[in-house]
């Protein structure tokens, strides 16, 4: 019986499973959203909650523990300096899971796991007038640069002709 046994084995040896989740954590911290299978996504939640809780402590010991797990200095820095401060008032539940359907090859259920801090940066839609102004500015700059190049060539020809 599996009473009170936490975690999923996912049909993998322990070392492979640990390395897989460490890589998934680094990817999730880097891109703030990843696509994976449902069971891996649900298990990844608990791993991420633990690492973000370390980030919220913001001590040297917590940084060293996080580095021991992530093995990527850039992601540890991002965790402690960017992600954890955004989640300082939140008591757990740092990830969202969206179901996306099934994988084509084997029918495995796919999910999108993202940090709750993730937001898609939308660019303001520019009117056609603003787009036209930008294009005209670029054209003017190019003409100006070409005009300056021609003047330099003329000056060089005059200098060569005098010698």
Residues in Cβ contact with 24 at an 8 Å cutoff, skipping those fewer than 6 apart: 34, 36, 40, 44, 47
17, pLDDT greater than 80? yes
Q: Which two tokens stand for residue 11?
A: 């049909």
Domain of residue 95 covers 14-115
Q: What average pLDDT does the segment 45-66 reach?
A: 97
The angle, 0 to 180 degrees and rounded to 10, between the axes of the packed helices 14-31 and 60-70 is 110
Is the same domain home to 89 and 135? no
Dump pLDDT digits (tens) for 67-102: 999 999 999 999 999 999 999 999 999 999 999 999
Task: Name which of 12, 34, 49, 16 is nearest 110 in CA terms.
Answer: 34
Residue 36, classed as helix, strand or coil, is strand
* Domain CATH code at residue 33: 3.90.1030.10
pLDDT of residue 141: 80
Same domain, 85 and 36: yes
pLDDT in tens, 129-139: 888 888 888 88
Where in 30-160 does DSSP place strands (E)? 33-37, 95-102, 109-115
In a domain, 2, yes or no: no
Instruction: Looking at the structure, tell me whether residues 65 and 101 fall in a common domain.
Output: yes
Q: Does 8 map to a domain?
A: no
Q: Is the separation of the CB atoms in 45 and 130 below 8 Å? A: no
Angular region, 162: left φ>0, alpha ψ -120 to 50, beta rest: alpha
Count up the domains in the chain and report the number. Answer: 2
Give yes or no for residue 123 having a pLDDT over 70.
no
Write out the E strands in 38-158: 95-102, 109-115
Tokens 């010991």 sit at which residue?
61
Is pTM, for the whole model, over 0.75? no
User: Do residues 76 and 63 lie in contact, with contact meaning Cβ atoms separated by under 8 Å?
Assistant: yes
Q: What is the mean pLDDT of residues 6-16?
A: 95
Report CA Rg, the chain: 27
* Same-domain status, 70 and 45: yes
Cα separation, 70 vs 26, in Å, equals 6
- Window from 13-17, 70-74, 100-104, 149-153 with minimum mean pLDDT: 149-153
* Residue 7 forms part of a structural domain: no
pLDDT value, residue 163: 61
What is the C-alpha to C-alpha distance for residues 45 and 93, in angstroms, rounded to an integer? 8
Whether 54 shows a pLDDT value over 70: the answer reads yes
Task: Work out the percent of the chain whose per-residue pLDDT is above 70.
Answer: 97
Task: Tell me: do 18 and 64 sit in the same domain.
Answer: yes
Residues 103 and 137 in one domain: no
């Amino acid at each position: 019986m599996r009473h009170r046994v936490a975690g999923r084995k996912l049909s993998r040896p322990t070392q492979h499973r640990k390395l897989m989740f460490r890589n998934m954590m680094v990817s999730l911290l880097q891109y703030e959203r990843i696509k994976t299978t449902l069971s891996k996504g649900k298990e990844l939640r608990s791993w991420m909650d633990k690492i973000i809780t370390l980030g919220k402590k913001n001590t040297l010991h917590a940084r060293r523990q996080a580095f021991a797990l992530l093995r990527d200095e850039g992601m540890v820095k991002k965790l402690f300096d960017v992600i954890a401060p955004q989640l300082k008032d939140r008591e757990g539940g740092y990830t969202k899971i969206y179901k996306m359907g099934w994988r084509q090859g084997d029918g495995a259920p796919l999910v999108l796991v993202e940090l709750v801090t993730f937001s898609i940066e939308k660019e303001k839609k520019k009117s056609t007038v603003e787009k036209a102004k930008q294009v005209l500015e670029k054209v003017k700059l190019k003409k100006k640069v070409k005009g300056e190049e021609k003047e330099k060539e003329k000056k060089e020809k005059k200098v060569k002709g005098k010698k």
